[in-house]
Structure 1
Amino acid sequence: MLRLVTTSICLYCQRAQVTPLLLQRTCSSVTQEENPLVIDALYDLSVDISKVRKLKGWVLRQKPVYVNETVTLLRDIGANETVIARVLELHPEAILCKPEQMELQKQLWMSVCANNKDLVGIVEKFPASFFTSSSNHDNQKANIEYFQTLHLNKRIISKLMASAPQSFSRPVKQNQEMIQTLQKTFLDLGGNEDNMKVWLQKLLTQYPYVLLKPSDALCDNLTFLHNRGFTSGELLHLLSKLRGFVTELNPESMRLTLSYSQEMFRCTEDELRRIVLQCPALLYYSVPILADRFKGLLSAGVSVEQITETPTVLELTTQIVQFRILKLRSYGYDVCSGSLDVLNGTKKDFEMSYGKLRLRRERPIFNPVAPLRTED
C-alpha cells in the first residue's frame, strides 16, 4: 500500500540527495505520492531515479507495479544489470506491464528473433516496442504471420517491429493494402518480379514508417513527376534509389525544389531531369537548404558548371564542404579548377582521397638521370 506519511518521503529524498527546493515540492505539492517501495527497488537496481522523475515521474505514482517480475523476465532472456537499469530509465512504464502480458510479448518476439541475445538487443534499444499493450497482441501476431508470407526473414521482421511498432499494432488489412500498392507500383513501372522481394526488403528496412503513410501519397508523387517528363524507367530508378520518396515527399515541395534548382543550374527541363536522376536526394531538400549549399559552393569559387557535373556535392552540408575544400587546398588541390568528385562521399571516402593527395605531394620525385647508389 502507498504510505501517505510525509516524513517517509522526506527520508527517501535525503537518501537520493534531492535538493531542498525539490524536497519541498515533493512533500507539499504532490497529491498522489510516490510509492517508496518502487523507489527503493529501482534504487537498488542502480536506476537513475532523478532521470525517471524528470521524464516520466508519473510512473512512480502508479499501482499496481511489477518491478520484480519485469527484472526477472529481463534476466531470463539474458539481460545484465547494466542493461536492466538502462531499460528502466528509458522506459519505466515497463514496470506497469502485467506478468502474463510480458510473457506473451516474450513468446511473440522469440518467434522472430534468432536467439535471446538478439531479443536483449532489441529490448535495450526499443523497450517501448517490447513492453506494449496486451490489447495489440492479436494484431501483432497476425501481422507477423502476414509478413512471413512475403518471405521476409526474421531479422527484417524483428527490425520492422522494433522501429515501427505502430504498424504491427494495427489491423493487418491496413498493412496489406500498402504492401499491395507498393508491389503493384513497382511492377507497373517495369520492375522485375524476381527483384521485387529485395526492393521491398530494402524499403521496409530503411524506411519502416512507410506502412503508416497513406497509399495515395505514392500515386500523387508519381503522377507529379510523370507530368514533369520522367519516364516509367526513370521513376523506377527514383523509387529504388530514393526510397523515402515513396510517401515522404509531396508534389508541392518537389515543385518548389525543382523550380529553384532549374533557376540555379540555368538548365532546361531535360537537363534538370538528368541532374535529378544523378542526384535523387535533390528532391528532398527545401529551397532554403539548397540556397545555403549553393551559396557556400559559389562563395568558395566553385562554378555552376562544376556543380552541374557533380550535383551529388549538394548532399553535403555547407560546413562539411568548406572544411574539405580547405583541407584539400592545404595539399595543393584546387577544387575550383578540378573535379568536385573528391569532395563527395562519406568521411571515410574523403579521407582516402585526401590521403592519396598527401602521399602524392610528400613522395620524392624519381629522377631518371640521378646515379644509382651501389655498394663499394
Structure 2
Amino acid sequence: MAQRRFLLFLWPVRRCAPLPVASRFCSSKQTKFEIPLVHLENESLLENLSSMGVDLASARRRQPGVLRKQLTNEQGLALFLKTKGADPETIASIISRFPRSITRSCEHLEERWTLWRNVFKSDHEVVGILSRSPESFFRSSDNKNLEENISFLMSLGITTKDLHRLLTTAPRTFSNSVELNRNMVELLQSICVSLCGNDPKLFARTIISRNLYIFIRSTNRIRANVDFLTSSLSLSNSEALALFQSHGAQILDLSHESLKKNSESLRRKLRSLGCGADDFKAMILNYSLVLFISSERLNEKVDCLIEAGIHPQQIVQKPKVLDFSLPSIRQRLHHLKRLGYDFQKSGIAVLDTSKKRFSAKLERLGSPEE
C-alpha cells in the first residue's frame, strides 16, 4: 500500500470534471452617490453565504477583502466538499474560518485534493483535517509548488506519517518554494558534516521529524542557535549530534535573543543554588526544552521545588519536571507531603508523570502495604 501511494506522486495530477455549479459573478446595484463598489461588501455574496450558515462576523474579521469580491465559487466549493463527505455545518465552518476558500476554482480543488489523498488514507480523513484547520488546505493556491515540495521531501526519505504531520501542523512549509526548503535541508546536512557526523541525510531527516516547524524558520536563526548552544555548553561533536537529534531539535525554534536570555537566566539561577557549569550543561543535555521557560516562571518553579526539600542536583537530573505548570507542581507537592513522601530517599521522578500515573502512585503510597 505504501509503495502504491508513493507511485501516485509519479502520475500526473488528475483534472477534475466540471462541477454542476460554476463560479458566479456577484453583483449589486450602485448609484453615482454611493461609495465605489470596490470599498463595499458584495450584498449578493453575503446573502448567499448567510443562507449557507456561514458566520459572516467571523469571515469579516478574518479575511474582509473576500466579502468584496465579485467572482467567487462558494456554491462550487460547497458541492465539492459535499461529494467528499462534508456536511453543511462543516462546510459553513470552513468558510467562516478561512473565507478565501471560496475563491478556489473547481479544477484547483480537484488537483489539490488528489495531492492530499496521496498522503492521507481517505476523503474522510482529509475532511476531518479541513474541519480543524482549513488554512492547511486552502492557504496556498499553488498546486504545482505543493506537488514539488511533497516530491522533494519524499526524496529525503521523509515518511508518509511525517508528511501527514507537516501538512496539518506546519502547512506553511508547502507554501515555501522548493528552493527555500532545500536551503534548510542543506544547512542541516552541513551542520552534521561540521560536527563530523557520518550520515547528513539521516541527521536532517531526524531534525525535521522532531521539529515540524523547522522549514518556517530562517536558516540564519537555526545556524545562530546551533553555534550558540555548541559553544556556550562546550559540547563535543558527539554531544552536539546527540542533542540536536533529540529534544534539542525543538529548541532551535526559539528566537536567538530569547535563547540567549533564557540560557543566561537558567545559568544564574543554578549558580545561586551552588551549581556550576557542568550542572548547567548536564541540565540542558538532560532536557533542553527547559530553555523555553521564561526567567520569571523558571525561578518560581525552581524555588517551589527547593522549598519542598528537593535538592538542586535532583532538578538538574530531572529538569522535565519544570515543564509542568506552577499550580500543578504545588498541588503534587502538597499531596506527596501529606503522605510523608521523602524526596531525598525516593527521588523526584514521581513529579514527572502523567496525571493518571500520579494518581495511581498516590493510591499505592496511601495503601497499608506501601
TM-score by length of 1: 0.77
**Among 134, 142, 153, which residue is 2:159 paired with?**
153
1:87: how far off?
A: 0.9
Partner of 1:177: 183
Determine the C-alpha separation between the residues in 2 that align with 1:186 and 1:246: 15
**Among 229, 254, 266, which residue is 1:225 paired with?**
229
Q: How does 1:254-293 map to 2 (within 5 A)?
A: 255-293=263-301
Determine the C-alpha separation between the residues in 2 that align with 1:325 and 1:140: 50
Distance 1:144 1:83, change over 3 A: same
Determine the C-alpha separation between the residues in 2 that align with 1:347 and 1:210: 30
How far does the alpha carbon of each residue in 1:281-310 deviate from its partner, in whole angstroms, 9 at most, with x for none? 233323222112122223444443443453
1:191: how far off?
A: 4.9
Determine the C-alpha separation between the residues in 2 that align with 1:249 and 1:284: 10
Q: Secondary structure at the match of 1:121?
A: helix
Distance 1:158 1:246, change over 3 A: same
Partner of 1:165: 171
Determine the C-alpha separation between the residues in 2 that align with 1:349 and 1:185: 39
1:76: how far off?
A: 2.0
Give the aligned residue type for 2:28.
Answer: R
Indicate if the aligned counterparts of 2:192 and 2:241 stay in contact, CA closer than 8 A.
Answer: yes
Indicate if the aligned counterparts of 2:95 and 2:101 stay in contact, CA closer than 8 A.
Answer: yes
Determine the C-alpha separation between the residues in 2 that align with 1:185 and 1:142: 25
Q: How does 1:1-376 map to 2 (within 5 A)?
A: 1-4=26-29, 32-134=39-141, 136-186=142-192, 188-189=194-195, 191=197, 193=199, 197=202, 200=204, 203-228=207-232, 229-239=234-244, 240-250=246-256, 252-253=260-261, 255-335=263-343, 338-358=346-366, 360-361=367-368
Q: Secondary structure at the match of 1:208?
A: coil
Q: Secondary structure at the match of 2:71?
A: coil
1:65: how far off?
A: 1.6
Give the aligned residue type for 1:172.
Answer: V
Indicate if the aligned counterparts of 2:290 and 2:323 stay in contact, CA closer than 8 A.
Answer: yes
Determine the C-alpha separation between the residues in 2 that align with 1:309 and 1:144: 40
Partner of 1:373: none
Distance 1:267 1:74, change over 3 A: same
1:78: how far off?
A: 1.9
Give the aligned residue type for 1:131.
Answer: F
Greater CA deviation, 151-160 or 169-178? 151-160
How far does the alpha carbon of each residue in 1:309-335 deviate from its partner, in whole angstroms, 9 at most, with x for none? 533322222211101111223334355
Structure 2: state its 5+ residue gaps. 1-25
Indicate if the aligned counterparts of 2:156 and 2:205 stay in contact, CA closer than 8 A.
Answer: no
Determine the C-alpha separation between the residues in 1 that align with 2:231 and 2:192: 18
Distance 1:213 1:324, change over 3 A: same
Determine the C-alpha separation between the residues in 1 that align with 2:351 and 2:69: 55
Indicate if the aligned counterparts of 2:286 and 2:319 stay in contact, CA closer than 8 A.
Answer: yes
TM-score by length of 2: 0.79
1:187: how far off?
A: 5.3
Distance 1:34 1:284, change over 3 A: closer
Determine the C-alpha separation between the residues in 2 that align with 1:186 and 1:354: 45
Give the aligned residue type for 2:155.
Answer: T
1:211: how far off?
A: 1.3
Distance 1:306 1:209, change over 3 A: closer
Number of aligned positions between the proteins: 339
Indicate if the aligned counterparts of 2:329 and 2:351 stay in contact, CA closer than 8 A.
Answer: yes
1:48: how far off?
A: 2.9
Distance 1:62 1:278, change over 3 A: same
